[in-house]
Amino acid sequence: MPNCAWPAIPSDVGAQALALQFQLERSQWMSPDEIRVAQLRQLQLVLDEAFRTISHWADALKQIDFQPGNRLSFEQFTALPVLTRTDLQRLSNSLLNQNVAALHGKVSQASTSGSTGTPVTFYQTELTGHFWRALTLREHFWQHRDFMGSLAAIRSNVESGQAANWGLSTASVIATGPVFVMNIRADIGDQLNWLVENNPDYLITHPSNLNALVKLAMQRGTALPNLKQLRTFGEVLTKETRQLCRSVWGSEIADVYSSEEAGYIALQCDHGAYHIQSENLLVEIVDDAGQPTKPGETGRVLITTLHNFAMPLIRYDIGDYARSGNDCPCGRGLPVIERIMGRQRNMLKLPDGTAHWPSFPEDRWVGIAPIQQLQVIQRRLDEVVLKIKAERALTREEMLRLIETFKATLGFPHNISIDQVASIPRGKNAKFEDFISELL
């Protein structure tokens, strides 16, 4: 509000953000049983809407004797079938609620290949974006960040540049220092030079990219004097990378576990535990028989979105594996993930000695052919193989288009061949890697 600098009165959007933050500050201390009761209350609203508007979910819910408005038990809910990525790919727009409430805001479409390389399309609303921003702000608060510090972000699908505020999660709520942005496809050496030039207080990037940066910094003896904390997302963060960052830059890492389809899944508290964001998602970790795992056991991650009424994802297998954890000493009632068993990308190495992040978004290739799954393997410095699982044999024209597309996307005219296969198995760590480098 103009002429009201202290105490400040935020805009409507900022007021909503702070009102939600006020609730999140309290809900995190609820007991696990209280959280489950609240989740089921919200889930009831999601399932009631899905029953009325989406025939697939109406049929599935009838199988468990679901009745709109009737109290839902957790046992009843877990009797629903698992929704796989293949299901989501196959069912596609038939899972879209065409009559989502206008109060939830504009419906937007997005797609991702995720950790399995299987491209899927999904829909979200402004409400789901509101929760994404709220949980981003929560993560800042959990990590006690200095908002007046500068933030450097090295990530994919961005234009290099600078802005005055950290982003949408803070813009309507609090003044921050500047944010510097660089595309992750830039050479690692250029990235490190850029970081030295901007000397940020905080840096966010993918774990494998951070690993390459800190190794190069160790070789060069490069310091970042202002650096207070590192932030990572999108991959498994290894202990080795954490230790390397402590040794070289004296910095700790705050990691987040998220997915494009569902948003934040788990955030780290100041004890280092990954807390499931139960106010926005119902997360199950189940074994091969579909039974809940015990603390210390590894299982598949199933996600149920609690606020996406445009395309609710119900018991959705995102293709990740994780290990359940015990209660955290911080006292929060939010469930704990002990370890995320996820993929780890390699760096794409070029013949001139440079390396960059191998970003090949599915929107650049998914429309060329009916591809169900894709994996890129670097065999030599100038040789790349595309392993493709498709609905049918690809035509010569489709293969030529794919080869030219990947030459442009990978940033070097590699010798690219296509190996069409019946399936692409997971790696030894139970995760699929969409890029594998066989170079030492």
What CATH code is carried by the domain that includes residue 406? 3.30.300.30
Buried b (16+ CB within 10 A) or exposed e, 129-161: ebbbbbbbbbbbebbebebebbbbbbbbeeeee
- Tens digits of residue pLDDT in 7-45: 988 999 999 999 999 999 999 999 999 999 999 999 999
Query: Which of 341, 366, 381 finishes a domain?
Result: 341
Report pLDDT for 426.
Answer: 59
Is 421 among the domain residues?
yes
Report pLDDT for 341.
Answer: 77
Query: Are residues 335 and 303 part of one domain?
Result: yes
Cα separation, 360 vs 410, in Å, equals: 7
- Tens digits of residue pLDDT in 276-301: 999 999 999 999 899 999 999 989 99
Domain that holds residue 268: 12-132+259-341
Please state which of the ranges 130-139, 143-152, 237-246 shows the lowest mean pLDDT: 237-246
> In the numeric block, which tokens belong to residue 432?
């699929």
Is 97 among the domain residues?
yes
pLDDT averaged over every residue in the chain: 91
- Residue with the bigger pLDDT between 371 and 279: it is 279
- Tens digits of residue pLDDT in 119-146: 788 999 999 999 999 999 999 999 999 9
- Tens digits of residue pLDDT in 58-79: 999 999 999 998 999 999 999 9
Torsion angle in degrees (nearest 10) through CA of 47, 48, 51, 52: -150
Query: Which of 292, 312, 341 finishes a domain?
Result: 341
- Tens digits of residue pLDDT in 211-236: 889 989 998 999 999 999 999 998 77
Query: Are residues 51 and 112 part of one domain?
Result: yes
First-last CA distance in the chain: 58
The partner residues of 276 in beta bridges, in order of sequence, read 266
Is 146 among the domain residues?
no
pTM of the model: 0.81
Helix 207-220 and helix 239-249: axis angle, to 10°?
A: 40
Report pLDDT for 344.
Answer: 39
Query: Are residues 328 and 358 part of one domain?
Result: no
Domain containing 266 — which CATH number?
A: 3.40.50.12780
Is 224 among the domain residues?
no
Residue 48 has pLDDT above 50, yes or no: yes
Please report which confidence band the pLDDT of residue 345 belongs to, taking 50, 70 and 90 as the band edges.
Answer: very low
- Tens digits of residue pLDDT in 111-123: 876 544 567 889 9
Query: Are residues 380 and 322 part of one domain?
Result: no
Is 188 among the domain residues?
no
Residue 82 has pLDDT above 50, yes or no: yes
Is 409 among the domain residues?
yes
The CA distances from residue 228 to 50, 252, 380, in Å, are 45, 8, 38
**Are the C-beta atoms of 217 and 189 separated by less than 8 Å?**
no
Query: Are residues 105 and 23 part of one domain?
Result: yes
- The Cβ of residue 440 has, within 10 Å, a number of other Cβ atoms equal to 3
Report pLDDT for 1.
Answer: 84
Cα separation, 42 vs 208, in Å, equals: 37
Query: Are residues 48 and 106 part of one domain?
Result: yes
Report pLDDT for 410.
Answer: 86
Is 242 among the domain residues?
no
Please state which of the ranges 194-208, 360-374, 394-408 shows the lowest mean pLDDT: 360-374
Cα separation, 328 vs 88, in Å, equals: 34
Query: Are residues 126 and 270 part of one domain?
Result: yes
Query: Are residues 372 and 282 part of one domain?
Result: no
Please report which confidence band the pLDDT of residue 102 belongs to, taking 50, 70 and 90 as the band edges.
Answer: confident
Query: Are residues 370 and 294 part of one domain?
Result: no
Pick left, alpha or beta for residue 211 (phi over 0 → left; psi -120 to 50 → alpha; otherwise beta). alpha
Is 424 among the domain residues?
yes
Per cent of the chain over pLDDT 90 is 70
Query: Are residues 128 and 33 part of one domain?
Result: yes
The partner residues of 418 in beta bridges, in order of sequence, read 386
Helix 188-198 and helix 207-220: axis angle, to 10°?
A: 80
Number of structural domains, the chain?
2
**Are the C-beta atoms of 312 and 46 separated by less than 8 Å?**
yes
Q: Can you tell me which residue has the tokens 């999601």?
A: 46
Query: Which of 341, 371, 389 finishes a domain?
Result: 341
Query: Are residues 125 and 42 part of one domain?
Result: yes
Q: Can you tell me which residue has the tokens 């990525």?
A: 85
The CA distances from residue 2 to 6, 7, 10, 168, 403, in Å, are 11, 12, 10, 20, 56
Query: Are residues 271 and 415 part of one domain?
Result: no
Residue 4 has pLDDT above 60, yes or no: yes
